[in-house]
Structure 1
């Protein structure tokens, strides 16, 4: 806690220093004159003051700056190819068994209790694991293709568990509207919603059924007006439609209706499977979500660079 307060205090000092350097119109003014501007709600002066909060993580000013950087990347490099979310299996991950020894926890403690007793250590361990996983598997080995550019954001849920949102720009990726057949192949080579056979692929079957099955809750349910009535729908588009083959939708209409640009081949048992990459899932052993996003990058930028 003290370390966090120290970082915030340091960031605030940096913001004040930058404000004094850049806001020349306020140099030489007395405290009384500055207070007068605050009292009369001087919009320009208030805007200048708010910039000192930009270095402080999770303030509106901070995310405004980050959002600008991501949008600049999209303008410079084009739309990201893939949107990847990686979560932590905080309640049943064998990776945190070490906390029994570190915290002298009784053997009777379950993994979930180890997590709830020391969420800070779990978050730190998850960060180290993610860093190695991302650098080695995604960047160096190029499981999803050669990554030209990327943006990573770490988020925390209400109970303290962390997860990562990632934009990936893949070299020579197929583009919707230009390389339609190649887009289908590109997606199918990297993204799946298949539940493997329990006998032929027991490990992957276990991981998919344990980590990739979406269950709707208050978090994802939202009321959407259809005609004169409101209908409750999942904002993650579950359950997803059954398809005999991959389907690429019209991009413009999909963006207007907030529907997915594509739908994978999917049977009735797979309508609640969160799309994943088989190799990433086998290596990570926790929930992942992988999407080909094409032109949806701007709308996703608002989601990724917001403070949830």
Structure 2
């Protein structure tokens, strides 16, 4: 096969020729393999229950900076250090920072999420991937399968919404009742009203959909079925909901509850749900939310208190949203690098290079152009896991003519 020019051409055309990069962790073929593992889990186990993200908070977790200072014999108190000074300490020892995050998350997963306390239900299976933000710190994206969790489309909607309310909230805790959780929510779970460049990546005001609408209860919004009057209804819905946001802005300092805001907007909970259907293009969970919580991201109180950093938790409504959105996000290959490898491959083809030269050029391109943060480099060099799941996936070829390629048993 490798001696046949036409076969080689097909291999390059289908990206089969860069599969030799799969063992190198972090490459596009590596994450493509992980994506197939998740598909296999979904086929066998069904749609996951929760999608969660857990971010790093290097400076909130004072033990990281304190440990590095102790290693260096530095007796400074972190409480008296400036942000710049803490940055320098953190950058001076990315190995300790990366290993402590890895240990913290693994302990958190084992002793909190999967504990007998069952903060988000009894976890029977999971998958997680470690990703690195632009500033270089790690964060994890996880899928969790919960035992006996109600499934959207199979169980009653009221049962699903009751399940969501049990484990997910966006409430700002009363400072007098629970000051610790209140302080964490206000510090790490408030979306910026000014919106960052990240918010505007897809050409929208905020791709995370903040601010989010207030509601007296949690409900699942299902897009209305298209008909000849859909565009007209959609226009009316946008005007009415635009008026709702105007009322919220006008009374943002008056601490009005949802019912009062709805009354001033000429809405009820029922009419709000009706109009909201016309502006959504997929099934969406709208959480119970007060007007002062429209910039608060959803969380689980027990997990947030233990993790003490930004987190996200979402109930997965159906297989379509799971596969198309969540799976492509949680196991996304590095898009920019994928484009670079594709361009390199095209240039090699235009230069009439043979198979060996093309593979060498692609490998060199990857190794020379892949940018990694210091902590990601630590994860790779020290063998810390970039992904893990509760099941081992084994591929079994069952086609009529499965092709098997192997190294010759002995040289001719």
TM over 0.5: yes
Could you give the per-residue CA deviations for residues 104-159 of structure 1, whole angstroms, max 9, x where no partner exists? 34516444443233233212101001101101111233221111211110011122
Paired with 1:118 and 1:260, the residues of 2 have a C-alpha distance of 45
Question: Quick one: which of 109, 112, 123 aligns to 1:147?
Answer: 123
Aligned twin of 1:206: 183
Paired with 2:164 and 2:309, the residues of 1 have a C-alpha distance of 21
User: 1:50 Cα shift?
Assistant: 1.3
Aligned twin of 1:120: 95
Aligned twin of 2:258: none
Contact 1:119 1:160 in 2 (8 A): no
Aligned twin of 1:74: 42
TM-score with structure 1 setting the length? 0.79
Aligned twin of 2:246: none
Aligned twin of 1:239: 211
Contact 1:213 1:274 in 2 (8 A): yes
Matched, 1:104 2:80: no
**Any stretches of 5+ residues in structure 2 without a counterpart?**
226-276, 335-412
Contact 2:221 2:280 in 1 (8 A): no
Residues 35-114 of structure 1 mapped to structure 2, 5 A cutoff: 37=5, 42-44=9-11, 47-96=15-64, 97-105=66-74, 107=76, 109-110=81-82, 111-114=86-89
Change (3 A) 1:77 1:103: same
User: 1:267 Cα shift?
Assistant: 1.2
Matched, 1:277 2:303: no
Matched, 1:169 2:154: no
Contact 1:80 1:294 in 2 (8 A): no
Change (3 A) 1:50 1:164: same
Could you give the per-residue CA deviations for residues 225-258 of structure 1, whole angstroms, max 9, x where no partner exists? xxxxxxx33121111111111121127988x955
Aligned twin of 2:156: 179
Paired with 2:281 and 2:138, the residues of 1 have a C-alpha distance of 27
261-270 vs 116-125, which moves further = 116-125
126-135 vs 137-146, which moves further = 137-146
Matched, 1:195 2:172: yes
Query: More strand by proportion, 1 or 2?
Result: 1
Paired with 2:186 and 2:176, the residues of 1 have a C-alpha distance of 14
Q: SS of the counterpart of 1:57? A: coil
TM-score with structure 2 setting the length? 0.60
User: 1:191 Cα shift?
Assistant: 0.4
Change (3 A) 1:190 1:55: same
The structure that has the greater radius of gyration is: 2
**What is the RMSD of the two structures over their aligned residues, measured on CA atoms?**
2.4
Matched, 1:217 2:196: yes
